[in-house]
Chains A and B, each alone.
Chain A
Amino acid sequence: MSTLMTNLKHIASEAEYNKVLQENENVMIICGRMGPMCVPVYDAAEELEIQYKHIQFYDMLFDLPDSKVIRGLPECRGFMGLPFTVYYKNAKVVKATSSIQTSEQIQEILNAHF
């Protein structure tokens, strides 16, 4: 399995990750597994995708070797809870969170940064 079972767009390699960041101004990537703390975050993102059309929502499987591009981010240093959710503006990280987040917490970040 190289992608997650969600309705979000998937990133499956470092090359895809770079392409997504190059081509889009506002990006949110959820890096996780199909686990209990991750699923509610994917669900929330799937719903918010309809509302926030100016933001691109993606997921990436945490166990892919290439997901080191997220696992190794300085902003994710100290993270010990899945999923790692990273928000990018013009390919720069503007916010990163670890573990489950509610739809409100995500919206607060989206409204503040995008």
Chain B
Amino acid sequence: MNLIASSAFFNEKHEAMKEFDVIILGAGAAGLTAGIYLARAKASVLILDHGMPGGQINLTHLVENYPGIESISGYMLASTMKKQAQKFGCIIKSNAKIKTLDFAGETKIVVLENGDEFNAKAVILSPGGRSRALNVPGEKEFTGRGISYCATCDGDFFQDREIIVVGGGNSALEEAVELTKYASKVTIVHQFDHFQAFQHAVDRAKENPKINFVMESTIVEFVGEDSLRAAKIKHITSGIITEMPIDGTFIFIGYVPNTEAIKGVVALNEWGEIITTKKLETNLKNVFAAGDARDTDTRQITTAVADGTRAALAAMQAVLQ
């Protein structure tokens, strides 16, 4: 995290700078890659992140499918990407909360909640996504007190305990198997009567003697005192609700795009994803989108990086016009 220090240095150095060739919203894999390409081509680039640079890579324990690197912690990969972007001259501003966005005209204007205003000739939107929450009573209250979204982080708190895994995709099934290293019993609760995962992931879960399944069911409430004690589970077709005593629950039910701040600014599809052309253009001139937040069917680091590259090259052309 030495980068934070260097980020502060860059911010100080360019404090007065308000006009850029390109502004990038979101400093995940897509945004940082776009920044690297643009800054290397001598464009002036501001990358704004409403949280911390690195995005979802920071939440990844170990990345083992990024070509050229056999295995790397998510933290190290994100750090290196940030360093690379800064080395080429990108200014990265974290905790940048968007107040207004005006992308309709030739000059693209971003105003932050702290009053800072920045202009650019082109914009790349790369706000990524986040884990979907169940949004049921008790979920917020017991997060960190029995409810978790990260098996590698919190699995060992559940040694010889009974837990639930919510979800029916690859992540849910793979993490359920992983969690049997610690838990004495894992119950997978899934809303459908079938899984949306690869067959090998389903088979591995079904073969595991510690795993059992509650299908066509959903959790409607979490209850407890200091920590989680039980989950109320509703059988969807019959409507019957039963209370299952439980020590922990891991939730893996997919993904939501972080597009709340750009709703009404660019066109989104029914799932809130940014609609793009093959060239990663949005419906607005010189506004491009990259990474997990756009309408794509694959959400990986490699695809975010590829998107970042393509959006940068398209934005570069726009800047040179």
Contacts from A to B (Cβ < 8 Å): 5-7, 33-40, 42-44, 46-47, 50, 77-82, 97-99, 102-103
Contact = CB atoms under 8 A, between A and B. Distances in A.
A7 B154 contact: no
22 contacts: A7-B4, A7-B5, A34-B73, A35-B61, A35-B153, A36-B60, A39-B1, A39-B74, A42-B1, A46-B1, A77-B227, A78-B145, A78-B226, A79-B227, A81-B144, A81-B147, A98-B144, A99-B143, A99-B144, A99-B154, A103-B51, A103-B95
A80 B52 contact: no
B109 to A, nearest CB: 24
Contacts of B75: 34, 36, 39
Q: Which of A35, A36, A50, A82 has the most CB of B within 10 A?
A: A36
A47 B4 contact: yes
A77 to B, nearest CB: 5
Interface core residue of B5, B60, B61, B150 (most chain A CB under 10 Å): B150
Given A47-B4, A98-B144, A103-B51, 10 more contacts: A6-B1, A36-B75, A36-B152, A37-B59, A39-B58, A39-B74, A78-B145, A78-B227, A80-B227, A103-B52
A37 B154 contact: yes
Which 5 residue pairs across A and B have the least CB separation, nearest first?
A98-B144, A99-B144, A78-B226, A81-B144, A78-B227
Contact of B61 (A36, A47, A80): A36
Contacts of A35: 61, 150, 152-153
Contacts, number: 93
Given A40-B58, A44-B52, A7 B2 contact: yes
B251 to A, nearest CB: 12
Q: How large is the interface on B (under 10, 10 to 19, 20 to 34, 35 or more residues)?
A: 20 to 34
A93 B5 CA distance: 29
B2 A97 contact: no
Nearest to B147: A81
A102 B51 contact: yes
A34 B59 CA distance: 11
